[in-house]
A and B are shown apart, each in its own frame.
Chain A
Amino acid sequence: MGAERAKDLASVAVSKAQAAGASYAEARVQSTWERQYVLKNGEPQPSFFSEGYGIGIRVISKGALGFAATNDMRRESVIQIARKAVSLAHASSAVLKKPVAMDGSKPVKKKWSPPEKEKIENADATWLRSVLLEIEGRVADGRAGIKLPGRLFFLGAELEKRYYVNSDGARVEGRLPRVGFVGSLTAIEGGATAQRFIQQGETGGLEVVERVGLVEKVEEEARAMGKVLRTATKPPTDRLDVVLSPELSGIAAHESVGHPQEADRVLGREGAQAGESYLKADSLGRRIGSEEANVSDDPTLIHSNGFVPVDDEGVQARKRFLIKDGVINEFLQNRTTAREFGLTSNGAARSVSFDREPIIRMSNTFVEPGDYSTDELLKEVKHGVLFKTFTEWNIDDKRFNQRYVALEAYLIERGELRGLVKSPVLEITTPKLWGSVKARSKHMEFEAAVCGKGDPQQGAPVWTGGPETLLAGIKLGAR
């Protein structure tokens, strides 16, 4: 669909919704283009591509929110679905306790796209396959030092284009190319098995594969699995120090800081699905961690998997300091929650598709870097365990009680990495975890992930990351 037709249909939808009685209306025409290739144990699977588009229209009528979407882009169908959004909102106002309204965020007029050296549209099946075959060549037949009878690799290239308009005057046009890899490795040796899921992804063009060092990373993971199976021993269970790698720092930041600081959860809107939060609306300013606990979410990071410079409510996005020096500093806000808090939105509304309403989402959530080099930080540890990678993890729906099971983990004695330990378990509350932060390195890394939320579900691409984070006085379990 041409840009001009998309703009025309979005404008028509907004004006017809207003004419039908909406006090606020927005429309988003969103198209997707995707190429994917799959290799299972070296065998090519059918290649896959998809393309499509549609329009999502969100309105406020009589204080209630309505959303309707269609991929029938005939003008009369778009007008009909816009009116449907209004009539549904109108009808639902009968069970409305508190009217919804937008904050006073400044409407943005902007065209955006991340840097892209080699156009994403050049990602055909031949290129995707060649990358996966290179990975396969590094790890198949024991070449990474371990037999891997289960190897499943997905490589995808996608392009999202969106045109957004709202009745407050926002006009936003975005182009978002992304490359993403998901791999599953299953190693078996001596009757024992280990399994690792690897996810890598960034926004940008075909250069992403080299920039993230994809081939080398998968090979490194495979080699580590062999060492774990051969040499890992029972982990200590006395009280000790724990060093979280960038990967573990990132997942902890995402699960136990980002999620509970989504304002819609704090207000109860996700109560039946993703849950609520251990925090309340008046928790801003509450101390939750040590002075060293600093966690942020930043949608403006160039190349990031969660790059969203303007959100799906037409608000200029910015970095959010979620925990600052151990204190709850800021929630992730959209325009309606910001209004309830008496604030303005910090640009956290995202929708993954034309047929999903924009909701509050993280982008790139991470522990802020500290001053230590990695070696200096490890020297601080007399007796401890380094969690380098993890497999199983989960957290309760208030985001209070969480668990991380390491795959690759090392005993640390007097500042030196010793041998591997087998499946140590960190099962800990959120205040205990962030209250134990003693030091952070300045070495930052990020991992790609897909964050689930919403009903219908919306899997949003994000980064999780951080430096090495030292937790003092922790008790571990074992799997």
Chain B
Amino acid sequence: MRAMDLDELNERAISAARNLGVDDAVALSARSAESIIRFANNSVTVVNRVEEAELSVYLAKDRRRAIASTSNLEPQVVKKFVRDLFSSMKGLPESEYVPLPEKAVKYSPSSFGYDRKLENLDERLVEMARTAIQAATKAGGKRSAGVISAGKATVAILTSTGTSGSDSRTSITLNIRSFAEKEASGHGLSCSSTLSGFDPEGAGTRAGEGAKTMKGASEPEAGKYQVLLSPAVASNLVEPVAGAASAFSVDAGTSCLAEKVGKAVAAQPFSLTDHGVTPGGLDGRVFDDEGVRTKSNRIIEEGVLKGYLHNLTTAKKWRTQSTGNAGFVTPHPWNLEVAKGDSSYEEMVREMKRGIILTSNWYTRFKNYRTGEFSTVPRDGAYLVENGEVVKSLKGIRAGDDLLRLFSSVRLLSKEREWIQWWEVDTPTLCPWVLADGVTITRAYG
């Protein structure tokens, strides 16, 4: 038995599909390898190495459509897998069907986003973890927990209309949290598509400094505050806005951007773009799941919603073109970018009369995706600002709002931006600090 390469897998799958007389077929095969080191209490807790490959196949026949994926890639099995998928379609009803683009495209990998130095770090991750822990300790943290993940992924496509190609990505991310006391913690992230852009020492230092400054934190009065959101917090709240821009979400009733195209949904300084591939982007590729070339799509421009993200099916329904964001079922963003502003972080703090700086958050949950009403729980560094000065650190708070009101109240954006991808942010996002007005802050009162 031997391992097939991705192109060979795709060819077998499409050949089998053609023999079955399908109208359309797409084979997407992917291979990935990821090394992960986790630590807690300044000590490594586990090292992971995961190597995987998968084949996904889309078939359409007589307006019936089905998708399947398998990790069983033994050469003799692929043909049966496609046959089984085809058989499963017989009882299906007709559904919305849009043929794949007739013109075959041969895709070449994008010229950025892959760094060979990230291919097999393995044991070097141990040294990086040590660097991050030591930096956090030096900056004031007593004990640190975190994870470094480094990986590479290649995706190859072949369609029944002859479109083919492959693209590859590498990424390395560190999420570190340092504790100076049980309830005094700080957070640091470093996310990069290249080894040279990875800064475990800087992330560790930020986590340690945050922990040190959170000692003696207290609960503020509940009420409405200006908030200065770090790139990590802002990215966590930008991601559901991009999700709401998926035409599938709009159709399903789970989008706060429904019926808003051409209307103001954010303040004038706020612009949001999705990139199929972009310098520094940790995800994405040059083609989407339907073989359409990905591109940069402006979702929100100077506060106005420009349009939704589409695959071929949603585009037909909305009488427009695919934006290169397929998902066979659900269009989705690849790499998000929030436009930078022209303020420094220090200038933004000085602008605050009475506000709160939030450096990290988690557990964002929605009361209603249609209205965008949510609350989220700040954690790690949170600071009360009065008349442009940080006066004390805060704990025990919750921030609540609705997404459109929040982004409509944005006043300033920083000129410094950071790539964010971690436990609370799936879609890589290049994001500045964001200053917004009138966010409701609550604390437990039951």
If A44-B93, A396-B377, A455-B147 touch, does A89 touch B47 (CB 8 Å cutoff)? yes
**Distance in Å: Cβ of A140 to nearest Cβ of chain B:** 13
Residues of B within 8 A of A446 (CB): none
**Residues in B12-52 with C-beta less than 8 Å from chain A:** 34-52
The answer to whether B279 has its CB under 8 Å from any CB of chain A is no
Residues of A within 8 A of B343 (CB): none
The answer to whether A257 has its CB under 8 Å from any CB of chain B is no
**Residues in A61-116 with C-beta less than 8 Å from chain B:** 64-74, 77, 81, 84-85, 87-89, 91-98, 100
**Residues in B252-270 with C-beta less than 8 Å from chain A:** 252-254
Specify which of A186, A394, A400 is in contact with B363 (CB 8 Å cutoff). Answer: A394
Instruction: Report whether A48 and B379 are in contact in the complex, using a CB–CB cutoff of 8 Å.
Output: no
Residues of B within 8 A of A423 (CB): 367
**Residues in B224-281 with C-beta less than 8 Å from chain A:** 248, 251-254
Residues of A within 8 A of B251 (CB): 40-41
The answer to whether B370 has its CB under 8 Å from any CB of chain A is yes
If A43-B95, A272-B177, A427-B442 touch, does A394 touch B375 (CB 8 Å cutoff)? yes
The answer to whether B369 has its CB under 8 Å from any CB of chain A is yes
Instruction: Report whether B126 and A94 are in contact in the complex, using a CB–CB cutoff of 8 Å.
Output: yes
Specify which of A47, A51, A148, A152 is in contact with B72 (CB 8 Å cutoff). Answer: A51
**Distance in Å: Cβ of B41 to nearest Cβ of chain A:** 5
Of all chain B residues, the one with the shortest Cβ separation from A48 is: B67
If A48-B68, A391-B367 touch, does A92 touch B50 (CB 8 Å cutoff)? no
Specify which of A1, A88, A276, A428 is in contact with B444 (CB 8 Å cutoff). Answer: A428
Instruction: Report whether A476 and B52 are in contact in the complex, using a CB–CB cutoff of 8 Å.
Output: no
Q: Choose the segment among A124-132, A156-164, A208-216, A310-318 that binds chain B (4+ C-beta atoms closer than 8 Å).
A: A124-132
Residues of A within 8 A of B145 (CB): 268-272
Residues of B within 8 A of A125 (CB): 66, 88-89, 91-92
Residues of B within 8 A of A401 (CB): 377, 396, 398, 443-444
Instruction: Report whether A64 and B44 are in contact in the complex, using a CB–CB cutoff of 8 Å.
Output: yes
The answer to whether B183 has its CB under 8 Å from any CB of chain A is yes
Specify which of B38, B69, B72, B446 is in contact with A426 (CB 8 Å cutoff). Answer: B446
**Distance in Å: Cβ of B27 to nearest Cβ of chain A:** 15
Of all chain B residues, the one with the shortest Cβ separation from A49 is: B68
Instruction: Report whether B363 and A272 are in contact in the complex, using a CB–CB cutoff of 8 Å.
Output: no
**Distance in Å: Cβ of A358 to nearest Cβ of chain B:** 11
Of all chain A residues, the one with the shortest Cβ separation from B59 is: A46
The answer to whether B362 has its CB under 8 Å from any CB of chain A is yes
Instruction: Report whether A72 and B367 are in contact in the complex, using a CB–CB cutoff of 8 Å.
Output: no
Of all chain A residues, the one with the shortest Cβ separation from B34 is: A456
The answer to whether B107 has its CB under 8 Å from any CB of chain A is no
The answer to whether A397 has its CB under 8 Å from any CB of chain B is yes
The answer to whether A450 has its CB under 8 Å from any CB of chain B is no
Residues of B within 8 A of A85 (CB): 49
Specify which of A88, A267, A272 is in contact with B47 (CB 8 Å cutoff). Answer: A88
CA distance A421 to B177 in the complex (A): 41
A-B CB contact pairs (8 Å), 12 listed: A46-B95, A49-B67, A54-B52, A72-B53, A95-B39, A126-B92, A152-B253, A267-B40, A394-B377, A455-B36, A456-B36, A475-B446
Supply 10 further A-B pairs (C-beta < 8 A) apart from A52-B72, A68-B50.
A41-B252, A84-B49, A89-B47, A92-B126, A95-B44, A149-B253, A273-B423, A394-B398, A403-B442, A427-B398
> What is A's interface to B at a CB cutoff of 8 Å?
1, 35, 38, 40-41, 43-54, 64-74, 77, 81, 84-85, 87-89, 91-98, 100, 124-126, 129, 148-152, 184, 186, 188, 193-195, 267-273, 275-276, 355, 357, 391-398, 400-403, 405, 423, 426-429, 432-433, 455-457, 474-477, 479
> What is B's interface to A at a CB cutoff of 8 Å?
1-3, 34-54, 58, 65-74, 81, 85, 88-89, 91-93, 95-96, 122-123, 126, 129-130, 133, 143, 145-147, 149, 175-177, 179, 182-183, 248, 251-254, 328-329, 362-371, 373-377, 379, 396, 398, 423, 442-446
